[in-house]
Structure 1
């Protein structure tokens, strides 16, 4: 069941302290989305080696899983505002250094990979703080609305930024696109300076490891969070690889490269439209609602299993985007309301680690499975498993009532 929310509170949210966070986050995502495209194009422009690109991208992604838990501990110990400012400042310096190397013609894969490792580490430390800081800025009743606003800006920016990055890289070079990213990190840090300097948790006489263990105990004691995280891990395992690897294979065979590009664009529209609609809606039972809508995210996989037609998969991708948006917004809101505030970033870091650790494994496994059983069959079976994984948490009364 939904609750219609008046427009005036939304305007008040954007005018208050949440508005500074909203602006900073939008700017940061714009720069990061540009950087992801620009760095890949720039490395290929300069070196022409796919191996170099693989090394640089791996260096950027690896810290996310290795340092996420440490980021959760620090966010709960020293305050989320300060960690966000520090992470953006470090990221600006590292990205700016990569831009200088490219603009000065001094590209070396080791140097660029090392700096990418730094930006990945900064993002890993920032992620738990990002999930934990929103409840410090808005009342609990406004959390779903605030998360929907953040999702709206995120999806809108990610539609525009890659195109801008491609244009800047093609006309001025990848180095200048990375300069834009570095500046965006600094601008975001300035916006975050306007956030209230509170939410600091002073832990006396306890080590970082002790805080980490305490966070694990809290995470494990919240059975609905643990079950939800394991469910997301299974859903990501059967979705990430099949969608990103088998999707372009099956759709391109029917509609060419343009067909797959069109499918991704339609999916992005579904994500954006639902996030905008969700700003006006609230759900009394977000956990249950998220699980029901989450089933829709399996529709694109089922469509790949039945037909590789760009039209069929495109419509399914739109529906899947709608379901994914509601699932993400309601989950974040439930965690932010129900998890003890002093442990929120640690619990969020365990949640993210459990949920996303299967993503790289999925990408590695899907190719061999498709070779053994056929791409369409694997996609369809993964869609069925996704539905089951999405609905299993509803066996818990706590999730159904939540």
Structure 2
């Protein structure tokens, strides 16, 4: 974000810490309500799909969202920059609310089968493609540049809370009102975010910020890519984010279950290891929320990427669950710190008119490409075992840290004060 960005929201954010700013807290409440609604929705969708079709059909329905999300993600960044992140988020949550309530109504009056669920999944994927870049662009317009790390720490805490609260709420909704009740609950949570988003104050854009709107959507997209390509911090930072996610998500989401099965730890062991990771990540988020800024952020995130890679490789060779939990705790701490710093630097270094598009490129790798490693990780473990695959994944993560250390612009990058 450029230092010339002005407006009442930015000025207000600069005068007080983000966690004491009512405007930022409104955003956090809206984000938290929407994130909990996401968790309730995904549980309701999975349950409804299992009830309406075969296991294979249910898996296909729950995976459908990934297709439009990956295909449309880069275009979503253009939409966020053209129309403003607040307007996009209000529209997105309104569409999501209407869609899940419509499906809840269909489920109340009959058994519509899989087609409405498939259509709902596609709608959510398309909406996510424009919503996620807007989520990334909004913090730069509601707080001062020196508060970005704190805001990302708060956002990460909200995600952890949503993951803990959302699934039990969804299960309660199914138990009390069936899948229609769970979808209805998700719709209410999306609706609850709307008044908070409407009340949000955002900084006014500079005249220069609107210059890109005169071109076509394609020129906006290519302009955003050129902005990244010519930037001494953003280009290596995007590479670091891509490599870190490509090496990290496979072992955590697929490899861990296979490792527990191989070692005889059972589902309980997986739960304990994931709890260790979540505790570490939550602690890192809380630290950054209270501290607000980490000196030499570029160097710290690059070193943390290398250290995290060593811990990921070590996880495949620990002798028991207790040691695995301790290693997972350290991975959570390090990766939690790394993730917040990457997000804060990404927004701090992006030009004010390009934040949505820059965020969409990072999200394309994190949410579009990285999940493709799930089946590859499973197949590779089937061929070579957990040890070699975890080490190979760790090397990919470590390469991200090495890129950061070798890129002088990123290595010397600082968060705004």
8 Å Cα contact 1:263-1:313 kept in structure 2: yes
Whether contact under 8 Å (1:236, 1:358) holds in the other structure is: no
Q: Following the alignment from structure 2 to structure 1, what is the Cα–Cα distance between the partners of residues 252 and 202?
A: 42
More deviation, 54-63/75-84: 54-63
Confirm or deny: 8 A CA contact 1:94 1:115 kept in the other structure: yes
Within the candidate set 126, 129, 133, 2:131 is matched to 126
Which residue is equivalent to 2:283? 273
The structural deviation recorded for 1:40 is 1.0
Report the alpha carbon displacement of residue 117 of structure 1 after superposing the two structures with TM.
Answer: 0.7
Kept in 2, the 8 Å contact 1:296–1:319? The answer is: no
Which of 342, 357, 360 is the equivalent residue of 1:349? Answer: 360
- Residue 12 (structure 2) aligns with: none
Structure 2 segments unaligned to the other structure (5+ residues): 1-14
Asked if the contact 2:152–2:340 (Cα under 8 Å) also holds between the matched residues in 1, the reply is yes
The question of whether the paired residues in 1 share the 8 Å contact of 2:298 and 2:404 is answered with no
Q: In the TM superposition, what is the alpha-carbon distance from 1:303 to its structure 2 partner?
A: 3.3
Q: TM-score, normalised by structure 1?
A: 0.91
Report the equivalent of 1:19: 25
1:10-159 correspondence to structure 2 within 5 Å: 10=17, 13-44=19-50, 46-159=51-164
- Corresponding residue for residue 235 of structure 2: 226
Counterparts of 1:51 and 1:176, CA distance in 2: 24
**Can you list the C-alpha shifts for 1:69-95, whole angstroms capped at 9, x where unaligned?**
111111111111111100110111111
Contact 1:97 1:115 in 2 (8 A): no
The answer to whether residue 222 in structure 2 is matched with residue 213 in structure 1 is: yes
| Alpha-carbon distance in structure 2 between the residues aligned to 1:48 and 1:304 | 37
Of 248, 253, 259, the residue aligned with 2:269 is: 259
* Offset of residue 306 of structure 1: 0.8
- The corresponding residue for 1:185 is 190
Equivalenced residue count is 393
Q: CA deviation at 1:366?
A: 1.7
Residue number in structure 2 paired with 1:5? none
Per-residue deviation at 1:197?
5.5
Q: Which residue of 2 aligns with 1:176?
A: 181
The TM-score normalised by the length of structure 2 is 0.88
Structure 2 equivalent of residue 334 of structure 1: 345
Q: 3-state SS of the aligned residue for 2:316?
A: helix
RMSD: 2.1
Determine if contact 1:70/1:125 at 8 Å carries over to the other structure.
Answer: yes
* Shift in Å, 1:274: 1.5
- d(CA) in 2 for partners of 1:162, 1:15: 29
Write out per-residue CA displacement over residues 94-133 of structure 1, whole angstroms, 9 at most, x where no aligned residue. Answer: 1112222333332321221112111121111111111111
**Equivalent position of 2:250 in the other structure:** 241
Label 1:296 to 1:30 Cα distance change in 2 as closer, same or farther (>3 A). farther
Q: What residue number does 1:292 align with?
A: 303
